[in-house]
Amino acid sequence: MFKKLKNIEKRYKELEEKLSDPDVVGNFGEYRKYAREHSGLRDIVETLRKCEKVSLQLREYEELLLENDEELKEIIKEEIPQLREEIGSLENRLRILLLPRDPNDGRNVILEIRAGTGGDEAGLFVADLFRMYTKYAEICGWKVDIMSSSPSGGMGGFKEIIMLVEGKGAYSRLKYESGVHRVQRVPVTETQGRIHTSAVTVAVLLEAEDVEVKIDTADLRIDVYHSSGHGGQSVNTTDSAVRITHIPTGLVVTCQDEKSQHKNRTKAMKVLRSRLLDSMTREQNAGISETRKNQVGSGDRSERIRTYNFPQGRVSDHRIDLTLYNLVDILNGNIQVLIDAMAFHYQTEAMKKVAA
């Protein structure tokens, strides 16, 4: 591990030199490539340097124990266990950082939230999860753009809402959210106080870049129509809504949130491209190793991953048997504790595989 860390530190220094090279700075594509690699190594190098600094301090303290100053030795004896504990923690973090990384971790995502079983109550929970993820994005300093939405009923719920989340590390944190989210609560329309169970599905897709997915315009059928709101009433008098069908796969994407047909078409194409990339990726990953699956999770959208129980104020993640009693905080966007627990679980599993 030590040799590998030293090679990484050497590469990090080389990248620092390249990023200050005028020829590289003047070439946007090359500069962005080196900057991305440099950013990817920063955590490892900073942790290594901190570990080396603490290790040096420990050696100095151990040498001072050989001196005759008894008062100083008593102080040092109290400090040494803390330093050793810190070194152990830093070394463990380095092992985690050296695990094979998902190359997509730094990318933006398209988050699709859809109502499942439960009627209007499922639609209302789509709105709750949309609010939760939006607030979490605000906490992380990310930008959210609604790509498409389809309201349900007149209670403020959604059949579906699709959002683009832009920001550093968006995929690395949100990739564990794919799956079925179940809610247990008394619906506002329930007169007898009975608890209902509803379900919502969440899909986390990578935002596809143009170079990743080439779409032949001959493979598209594009329909335009009047946008509609609650109850199907027209919300404008122009054909601004867009429906794009990818004929070879049968994928259909609609967008009507913008007043401009051009903007709706652009957003719909972005969603279509991401769905096609997701389909391609799933086919390629069908035979990936168990180590890789343990590292990133299954991402299976049919898997029931979490239950939100309102009467008990409880949130349970079924993949790692984690139960928390802070439902209100979670729905207010404070989901980092869940994300950290999932990341730690898969990192631990990956380390076991590597060690074996």
- β strands within the chain, DSSP E: 109-115, 143-152, 157-166, 179-185, 196-206, 220-225, 241-246, 251-255, 304-309, 314-317, 322-324
Residue of 110, 176, 190, 121 lying closest to 143 (CA atoms): 110
Alpha helices in 218-333 (DSSP H): 261-284, 290-296, 327-331
pTM comes to: 0.70
Domain of 243, in residue numbers: 217-283
Of 239, 268, 283, the residue that ends a domain is 283
Per-residue pLDDT at 211: 65
What is the tally of structural domains in the chain? Answer: 3
What's the chain's length in residues? 356
Per-residue pLDDT at 29: 84
Q: 27 and 74: one domain?
A: yes
For residue 102, being part of any structural domain is answered with no
Per-residue pLDDT at 1: 75
3-state secondary structure of 296: helix
Residue ranges, the chain, pLDDT below 70: 189, 191, 210-211, 228-238, 284-302, 353-356
What's the rounded Cα separation, in Å, for the pair 307 and 137? 21
Pairing type for strands 314-317 and 109-115 reads unpaired
Q: 132 and 159: one domain?
A: yes
Torsional class of 314: left (φ above 0), alpha (ψ -120 to 50), beta (otherwise): beta
3-state secondary structure of 332: coil
For residue 104, being part of any structural domain is answered with no
A 10 A CB-CB count for 9 gives 16
What's the rounded Cα separation, in Å, for the pair 1 and 12? 16
Q: 32 and 124: one domain?
A: no
Per-residue pLDDT at 244: 93
